[in-house]
């Protein structure tokens, strides 16, 4: 199932709305609970899960957080599980995002 998310280099974890967990058949509240501080200083309750994903043509298991409190209207793709597998380059001039899989060590 395809899902969209904004790449956020300032986010430690990827966070998706709890409705996305429902679509995947994941009981999001059965994940590992963590409280994350977000950009405006508020705390967000997130439940972490290991989820099989395909990103930039690469399949792997990523740690994804699901939250009922995500109120920004879009999902976030954070550093954990993604930035250690891909070179991610923001090109502001051309409003482009380049993603290249990294070679395994």
Print the domain residue range for 54. Answer: 6-101
Q: Supply the pLDDT for residue 105.
A: 59
The alpha carbons of the chain give a radius of gyration, in whole angstroms, of 14
CATH code at position 72: 2.40.70.10
Query: What is the pLDDT at residue 72?
Result: 82
Q: What is the pTM of this model?
A: 0.88
Question: Is position 1 within any domain?
Answer: no
pLDDT in tens, 78-94: 999 999 999 999 999 99
The helix (H) or strand (E) run that includes residue 45 is: strand 43-55
Q: Is 67 helix (H, G, I), strand (E, B) or coil?
A: strand
């Amino acid at each position: 199932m395809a899902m969209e998310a904004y790449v956020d280099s300032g986010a430690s974890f990827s966070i998706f709305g709890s409705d996305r967990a429902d679509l995947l058949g994941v009981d999001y509240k059965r994940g590992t609970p963590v409280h994350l501080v977000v950009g405006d200083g508020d705390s967000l309750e997130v439940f972490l899960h290991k989820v099989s994903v395909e990103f930039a043509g690469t399949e792997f298991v990523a740690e994804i957080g699901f939250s009922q409190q995500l109120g920004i209207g879009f999902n976030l793709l954070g550093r954990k599980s993604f930035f250690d597998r891909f070179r991610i380059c923001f090109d502001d001039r051309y409003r482009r995002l380049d993603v290249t899989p990294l070679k395994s060590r």
